[in-house]
């Protein structure tokens, strides 16, 4: 039986990132994959045991002043852009790929991967345990409630909650 190829241990040196700013705090146990495709701005916090998965293609860009909570999972196969001053709570998942839905007689894992970027604009806050699905844009200064599942774009200055997430009001 052929041994599956590993994506590595997740351990890396700061020199391996495409870009890493000043004042970046990376807590114990945080793992990074394909750091050569990850750009991190200044004064970013990455919490304990977060998994930050770059991909062999596409970029993950984390803006200055962003805060990424403990055990967050960011997978940038389709590309992720996180704006300046964005908060991402503990256990948040940001996904940019899926196995698609084609071929009812085909095992799902055999379907071709589909890639769609995710953008979280400046000043937004993603609540604990929220899930952001591929292709979503979260507008500037928006709030996503804890446990929300975001399946479509959220306009700027909105508060969205639920599964699927729905805008319940605009911020004033």
- Active-site residue numbers? 99
The neighbour count for residue 110, using CB atoms within 10 Å, is 9
Edge-first strand order for the sheet with 25-26 is 25-26, 45-46, 67-68, 87-88, 125-126, 143-144, 158-161, 166-170
Distance CA 11, CA 171 (A): 40
Distance CA 37, CA 166 (A): 32
Pairing assessment for the beta strands 19-20 and 45-46 based on DSSP bridges = unpaired
Pairing assessment for the beta strands 158-161 and 166-170 based on DSSP bridges = antiparallel
């Amino acid at each position: 039986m052929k041994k599956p190829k590993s994506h590595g241990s997740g351990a890396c040196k700061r020199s391996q990132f495409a870009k890493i700013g000043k004042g970046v705090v990376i807590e114990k146990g945080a793992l990074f994959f394909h750091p050569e495709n990850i750009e991190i701005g200044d004064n970013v916090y990455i919490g304990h045991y977060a998994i930050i998965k770059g991909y062999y293609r596409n970029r993950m860009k984390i803006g200055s002043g962003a805060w990424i909570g403990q055990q967050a999972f960011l997978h940038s196969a389709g590309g992720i852009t996180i704006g300046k001053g964005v908060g991402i709570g503990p256990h948040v998942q940001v996904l940019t790929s899926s196995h698609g839905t084609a071929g009812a007689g085909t095992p799902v894992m055999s379907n071709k991967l589909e890639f769609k970027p995710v953008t979280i604009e400046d000043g937004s806050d993603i609540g604990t345990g929220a899930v952001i699905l591929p292709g979503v844009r979260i507008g500037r200064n928006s709030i996503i409630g804890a446990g929300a599942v975001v399946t479509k774009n959220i306009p700027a200055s909105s508060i969205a909650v639920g599964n699927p997430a729905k805008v319940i009001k605009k911020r004033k």
